[in-house]
Amino acid sequence: MPELPEVETTRRGIAPHVEGREIVEVIVRESRLRVAVPADLVERLIGARVGPLSRRAKYLLLPLSRAGQGDGTSTLLWHLGMSGSLRMVRLGELPRKHDHVDLVLDDGGILRYHDPRRFGFVDWLQGSVNADPRLARLGPEPLSEAFDGARLFAFSRRRRLAVKPFLMDNAVVVGVGNIYAAEALFLAGIDPCRPASGISRQRYDRLADAVREVLAAAITQGGTTLRDFVGGTGEPGYFKQRLNVYGRHGQACRRCGGELRLVTLGQRASVFCARCQT
């Protein structure tokens, strides 16, 4: 599943090609996504101009405006689901299987949505995006000043669940999915099975720093290609080459040489080093 670094990589890849451009045609080949493509999407988008792209958690936000109507009045909300990708192609490039939606721009570029499993969606929002229930209750961005060890410590009190699923709770902090939670906990030296309430403020400070470090590195490397993900230019991500624990159970720890262990936490596979993470 594309996580925060993959979505941010996509945003950075497509932004220079779509910002300021007018949508002249919309092609919907398959409307049966996780959320059905709105029936009036084509009508609403044609003639709209795309503003500066942003990201909230794993959602991509494309603000839209029309001449004489001001800007910031509507937003295209895109979620990549488990296997989706957005990439730029040129006019005339034939669609592949699972290429479900095209936005054709006034310079001939096409923003094309590809999603084999169809768990993603595209939706149209009117007014403030923060009023949308999918965004309203989200925690802070992990790379923002609003996220730190103090927040983790405060939210973890009286929480009996293990620290890894706690870190993946979008009400605590957004966008720290399975891959990057595992990697951050390794970097911070924290056992993912430990109760969230049993971790000190000092260790949460280290964990917050580790989350930022891991995510920043993953974004720089273009995300992690595990199955289907490619960035906005069609290139894969290379952070997979730097993974310390995720997907490496039974292999040697890069730090101490011990065998990495596999457990299940919150119905998700979790790999860790029992020597380095306590």
pLDDT digits 0-9 by tens, 43-98:
999 999 999 999 999 999 999 998 755 544 799 999 999 999 999 999 899 999 99
- Please compute the mean of the pLDDT values over residues 165-189 and round it to a whole number: 96
pLDDT at 3: 86
pLDDT at 171: 95
- Give percent of the chain above pLDDT 90: 82
Are 63 and 36 a contacting pair, CB within 8 Å? no
pLDDT at 262: 97
Rounded distance between C-alpha atoms, residue 232 and residue 270, angstroms: 29
As a whole number, the mean pLDDT across the chain is 91
96 marked as binding residue? no
- Please compute the mean of the pLDDT values over residues 243-261 and round it to a whole number: 96
In this predicted model, what pLDDT tens digit does every residue of 141-166 receive, in sequence order? 999 999 999 999 999 998 999 999 99
Catalytically active residues are 2-3, 58, 268
Helices 201-220 and 4-18, axial angle in degrees (round to 10): 40
Hey, what domains does the chain have and what are their CATH numbers? 4-136 (3.20.190.10), 149-272 (1.10.8.50)
159 marked as binding residue? yes
pLDDT at 2: 80
Distant-in-sequence, close-in-space partners of 4: CB < 8 Å, separation ≥ 6? 55, 57, 58, 142, 174, 175, 176, 177, 180, 215
98 marked as binding residue? yes
